[in-house]
Amino acid sequence: MSAPPYLPGHGLLTGRTAVVTAAAGAGIGGATARRLLEEGARVLISDTHARRLEESARTLAAEFGAHRVAALTCDVTDEEQVGALFARAEGLHGGLDVVVNNAGLGGTADLTEMTDDQWTRVLDTTLNGTFRCTRAALRSFRAAGRGGVVVNNASVVGWRAQRGQAHYAAAKAGVMALTRCAAVEAADYGVRVNAVAPSLAMHPHLAKVTSAELLADLTAKEAFGRYAEPWEVANVIVFLASGYSSYMTGEVVPVSSQHA
């Protein structure tokens, strides 16, 4: 089964300012930045890869206007860089409205062979990085006093076991728990915090780090017999960022067609 037609924007985020981490390239972050722009938002994209980030920003600016696209290199494992990212966001267009925490790091290793460094690198980027950016977002939203939305990128692996993914699964389960706890606290000042949990969204980086055999096996488990396009995950992120999900907070929404 092929992917459905690409949906046009409907102005769901007109006038909003958004930050998207790990937004360079053709993955979920890049697709999300594009969808936010198509919905009328102004977007600050970040990534650790400066060259790819510059290329992505240039492409988006040419299509949507330089006044709506900004970029800043940021490593979410570095608190100083996270602080600089949010300071830049607060200075754009009068404030910040939406934060999409997409940065994450995977890998494959059986637990008995996994090193401390492999475990720590995945946890520091995927879970601790989401913590740092969520904390910065909530501080910014609370100080501004005008509400806001955080959308975190989790994974169905946070619920379901997969061989060789102990570090990634633990990190994504942590993102889910962080989302729920942050949502309870942030409700006090009108901020919503939710997450998406994709199953299998194909992009060039995943194809490079995952064997063809594993990708075929994972795809076979999807009810539609195909992987998701990154923009299909981005559509759900846009929904959670928009007023259409105004009563939702602390929720983790699967973006999955996996068999029960």
Q: Which residues, 6 or more positions from 13, have their beta carbon under 8 angstroms from its beta carbon?
A: 36, 39, 40, 41, 97, 98, 238, 241, 242
Q: What distance in Å separates the CA atoms of residue 88 and residue 82, rounded to the nearest whole number?
A: 10
| 61 Cβ contact partners less than 8 Å away, ≥ 6 residues apart | 68, 69
Check residue 257 and give its pLDDT.
Answer: 80
Task: Label residue 258 by pLDDT band (50, 70, 90).
Answer: confident
Alpha-carbon torsion 211, 255, 21, 163, what sign? negative
CATH no. for 17-255: 3.40.50.720
Q: 100 φ, ψ to 5°?
A: -115, 110
Helix (H) / strand (E) containing 186: helix 166-186
Distance CA 106, CA 118 (A): 9
- No. of H helices and E strands in the chain? 9, 7
pLDDT of residue 94: 82
pTM over 0.85: yes
Q: Give the pLDDT confidence score for residue 205 in this predicted structure.
A: 54
pLDDT category of residue 217 using cuts at 50, 70 and 90: low
Return d(Cα 143, Cα 16) in angstroms, integer.
17
Query: To 5 degrees, how large is the angle CA 95–CA 139–CA 83?
Result: 80
At residue 250 the predicted structure's pLDDT band, cuts being 50, 70 and 90, is very high
pLDDT score recorded for residue 115: 98
| 3-state secondary structure labels for all residues of 91-145 | HCCCCCCEEEECCCCCCCCCHHHCCHHHHHHHHHHHHHHHHHHHHHHHHHHHHHC
Instruction: Answer yes or no: is pLDDT of 32 > 50.
Output: yes
Indicate the range of 17-31, 170-184, 199-213 predicted with least confidence.
199-213
**Which positions are annotated as active-site residues?**
168
Beta bridge partners of 258: 222
| Residue 27: strand, helix, or coil | coil
- In whole numbers, what is the pLDDT of the chain averaged over residues? 92
Report how far residue 197's alpha carbon sits from residue 212's, in angstroms, rounded to the nearest whole number: 22
Q: What are the boundaries of each domain within the chain?
A: 17-255
pLDDT at residue 210 above 70?
Answer: no
Please report, as a single letter, which amino acid is at residue 65.
Answer: G
pLDDT recorded at residue 183: 98
* pLDDT value at residue 207: 47
Q: How far is Cα 33 from Cα 31, in angstroms, rounded to an integer?
A: 6
DSSP code at position 21: S
Distances (CA, A) of 183 to 134, 191, 192: 10, 8, 6
